[in-house]
A and B are shown apart, each in its own frame.
Chain A
Amino acid sequence: MRPELPTRRDEAWRWADLRHAEAFLETPAPANDALPETDHLWLDLAGPRQLFVAGQPVGAAAQAPTPDRTLPRHPLADLAAARATAGATLEIPAGADAGLVQLLHVGRGGAAHGITRVILGAGARLTLVESFADEGQDHWLNHRLDAELGPGAELVRVSRTLSGHGLVSDRAAVRMREASRFVHLTLGLGAASLRAEVEVLLEGAGAHAEVDGILLADGAAVLDALTRLDHRVPDTSSRQRWRLVAGGTAQASIAGGVAVARHAQKTDAEQSLKALLLRRTAAVNLKPELEIFADDVACAHGCTVGELDRAALFYLGTRGVPPAEAEALLTLAFVADALAGLPEGALQDALDAEARAWLARHAGGRA
């Protein structure tokens, strides 16, 4: 039976573009042994790498991990669990530091489903960069990440979409035990459609999540992100920083959610959502949502949509910086805010450089 996909009539999918999901729902990616050119798709950072083409691992056998069935149901994530035939399992024992691992998922015609399972023992650490790209054809890459963070564990995950065609849907669902730390960055640079979701279940006291994102949309891209930071026990905290830039006829959207369960006192949750629009034909949508059932909490959000600060532009001008350069500098500063949650160092620098390069290429008169 053909599964039901959500539609824009569903509140959570109001700004999503699922045309390619509809189109490729029953069309798996064609079998093809040729390997794509991927050198330019990896971040130039040390650490193990694994390539998946249309959901199949290259040069290794990788059984699909068992999904975490206790996670909240989700139409696309459930589909990924049902249809993925391969995937990555990263189980890091207590106290170990696994360094940085890169997974690259390349779409190829049709639909491909993937699943990554991360299990971090107490105090274990992992940095995971998952990148999504394509070979120049429309396609649908549907991916889920199931992660469990043991007490004091730390996971940094970057979901990086470079795809220029079709649709990438990526949902990260993370369970956090006490004093664990989760940093997530969504980097949407592609010209196609993206649905990026991050749902975090903060289930242990002292758990802290930073869920950030940069959506840079140009051409006719439809980049759509949704988060839900579910504070289920007392004494947890979260920060969300999202920066959106839209040009062309593109649309960039973020629905940032914070939920505080009854009795989850002393929750400290903040959201900052900001967007810049480069053209009248483009669109940005923001929805900072709070759902609160406990009274002793500090939950705040701030959102702005607007032009670059005119006073700052003039200030730069009086120091000799031409308007285009001044705009580029301020746009970059605007975007770079969202990288602040990542640990300082090579990964942060590499992503900063990518955002900078994107702005130089796409921000029209602004770079």
Chain B
Amino acid sequence: MMLEIRNLHASVDGREILKGLDLSVRAGEVHAIMGPNGAGKSTLAYVLAGREGYEVTAGSVTFDGTDLLSMAPHERAAAGLFLGHQYPVEIPGVSNLLFLRTAINAQRKERGEPEISGADFMKRVRTEAAALGLDMEMLKRGVNVGFSGGEKKRNEAFQLAMLEPRLAILDESDSGLDIDALKVVAGGINRFMGPERAVLLITHYQRLLDHVRPTHVHVLMDGRIVESGGPELALRLESEGYERHAA
């Protein structure tokens, strides 16, 4: 099992948001977590990535059998977990390229691997940037500084490709995208997927799932998974909404 979440309870500012969540993800699977606003979707993403202020009050999470919750955010990243942020921050003064190279080398160091060479790094940057339609000039600017909403999401997909994690948790990767950008981001996710990897797609809408086909679909309501199924569940939710779960 790659990711095993058992009875997860988490609070923000003393208010319980996750109330006993269970989820198992194997390599090769694409899970979609769907649910209405306020169900706890982003909280789940932040708890898994280790954001401060998101307090786990009960339950456990293991990643490849090790306790994820005891690790710092950067250790989780080095272990192969990637969070695609819903609202990527702007970091003026730190170029995208410097940022990415620092991140890659920090992860390699944590894993006891040698640093990436400048030539290899730039070669991969060019390949992946081209695939996602990102301009090299943009990458020389500060992280996300002056990027549109769509460009920020593309940049997240670009980092996903460059960092080569094993589990990608993508929080509303489709929000703020027009249809062309959506296809580009979906293409990035599909290229990333493989038998050794897994994806956790957190989304309010079905439309990303037209382009990234999930193996499992879960409905998250009020801090718990209330229904699980295959891709057909997503289609049903699209037509029926979440009312039936609300009762």
A323 and B72 contacting across the interface, CB-CB below 8 Å = yes
* B238 close to chain A: CB less than 8 A: no
* B163 close to chain A: CB less than 8 A: yes
Question: Which residues in chain B, 64-84, are within 8 Å of chain A measured between CB atoms?
Answer: 72-74, 76-78, 82-83
**Which residues of B have CB within 8 Å of A330?**
91, 93-94
**Which of these, B78, B88, B93, contacts A320 with CB under 8 Å?**
B78
* B126 close to chain A: CB less than 8 A: no
* B173 close to chain A: CB less than 8 A: no
B51 and A314 contacting across the interface, CB-CB below 8 Å = yes
B91 and A318 contacting across the interface, CB-CB below 8 Å = no
B103 and A321 contacting across the interface, CB-CB below 8 Å = yes
Per the bound structure, the CA–CA distance linking A326 and B107 in Å amounts to 13
* Contacts A322-B106, A325-B102, A325-B106; A317 near B73 (Cβ below 8 A): yes
* Contacts A316-B99, A316-B103, A329-B102; A321 near B91 (Cβ below 8 A): no
Cβ-closest chain A residue relative to B94: A333
B92 and A333 contacting across the interface, CB-CB below 8 Å = yes
Per the bound structure, the CA–CA distance linking A337 and B103 in Å amounts to 22
**Which residues of A have CB within 8 Å of B92?**
333, 337
Per the bound structure, the CA–CA distance linking A310 and B110 in Å amounts to 22
* B247 close to chain A: CB less than 8 A: no
**Which residues of A have CB within 8 Å of B78?**
320
* B13 close to chain A: CB less than 8 A: no
**Which residues of B have CB within 8 Å of A310?**
52
A314 and B91 contacting across the interface, CB-CB below 8 Å = no
B74 and A323 contacting across the interface, CB-CB below 8 Å = yes
* Contacts A325-B106, A329-B102; A317 near B89 (Cβ below 8 A): no
* A315 close to chain B: CB less than 8 A: yes
**Which residues of A have CB within 8 Å of B201?**
none
CB B156 to nearest CB in A, in angstroms, measures 10
Q: Which of A318, A320, A325 has the most CB of B within 10 A?
A: A320
A322 and B89 contacting across the interface, CB-CB below 8 Å = no
* Contacts A311-B89, A314-B51, A314-B73; A319 near B159 (Cβ below 8 A): yes
**Which of these, B77, B88, B159, B163, contacts A317 with CB under 8 Å?**
B77
* B32 close to chain A: CB less than 8 A: no
**Which residues of B have CB within 8 Å of A329?**
94, 98-99, 102
* B50 close to chain A: CB less than 8 A: yes
CB A367 to nearest CB in B, in angstroms, measures 13
- What are 23 inter-chain pairs, A to B, with CB distance below 8 A? A310-B52, A312-B91, A314-B73, A315-B89, A316-B74, A316-B102, A317-B77, A318-B49, A318-B76, A319-B99, A319-B103, A320-B78, A320-B103, A321-B74, A321-B77, A321-B103, A329-B99, A329-B102, A330-B93, A333-B91, A333-B92, A336-B93, A337-B93
A residues with a Cβ closer than 8 A to B are 309-312, 314-323, 325-326, 329-330, 332-334, 336-337
Extra contacts besides A316-B99, A320-B107 (5): CB < 8 Å? A315-B85, A315-B89, A321-B74, A322-B72, A337-B93
